[in-house]
Structure 1
Amino acid sequence: MTSDPEESVRLQGYGEMTLRTAIATLMAVPARDRADAAVFRVRDESRLAPREIAELASDWGIAQAADIKLPDRHWPDIVRGMVREAPLPALMVAFLMGVLVARR
Structure 2
Amino acid sequence: MMSDPEESVRLQGFGEMTLRTAIATVMLLAPRERADAAIFRVRDGVRLAASEIAELASEWGIAPAAEIRSPRLVPDPHWSDVVRSMVREAPLPSLMVAFLIGVLVTRR
Q: TM-score normalized by structure 1? A: 0.70
**Number of aligned residue pairs:** 85
Give the aligned partner of residue 10 of structure 1: 10
Q: Evaluate the alpha carbon distance shift between residue 85 and residue 66 of structure 1 in structure 2; reply closer, same or farther with a 3 A threshold.
A: closer
Structure 2: distance between partners of 1:55 and 1:73:
38
Following superposition, the deviation at residue 80 of structure 1 comes to: 3.6
Q: Which of the pair has more CA radius of gyration?
A: 2
Match of 2:85 among 81, 84, 102: 81
Q: Once the two structures are superposed, what CA deviation does each residue of 1:3-61 show, in whole Å capped at 9, x if it has no partner?
A: 00010000001000000000001111111111111000001110000000000000000
2:34 is aligned with 1:30: no
Q: 1:85 to 1:65 in 2, by over 3 A?
A: closer
Q: Who is 1:98 aligned against?
A: none
- How far apart, in 2, do the equivalents of 1:41 and 1:85 lie? 46
Runs of 4+ in structure 1 displaced over 4 angstroms? 83-86
Structure 1 gap segments, 5+ residues each: 92-104
Which runs of no fewer than 5 residues in structure 2 stay unpaired? 68-74, 99-108
Please list the CA deviations of residues 47-80 of structure 1 after superposition, one character each: whole Å capped at 9, or x if unmatched.
000000000000000011027xxxx993632344
Residue identity opposite 1:53 in structure 2: I
Give the letter for the 1:29 counterpart. L
Q: Provide the C-alpha distance between the structure 2 equivalents of 1:85 and 1:46, rounded to a whole number of angstroms.
A: 50
RMSD between aligned residues: 2.6
Cα distance 1:36–1:75, how it changes in 2: closer, same or farther (>3 A)? farther
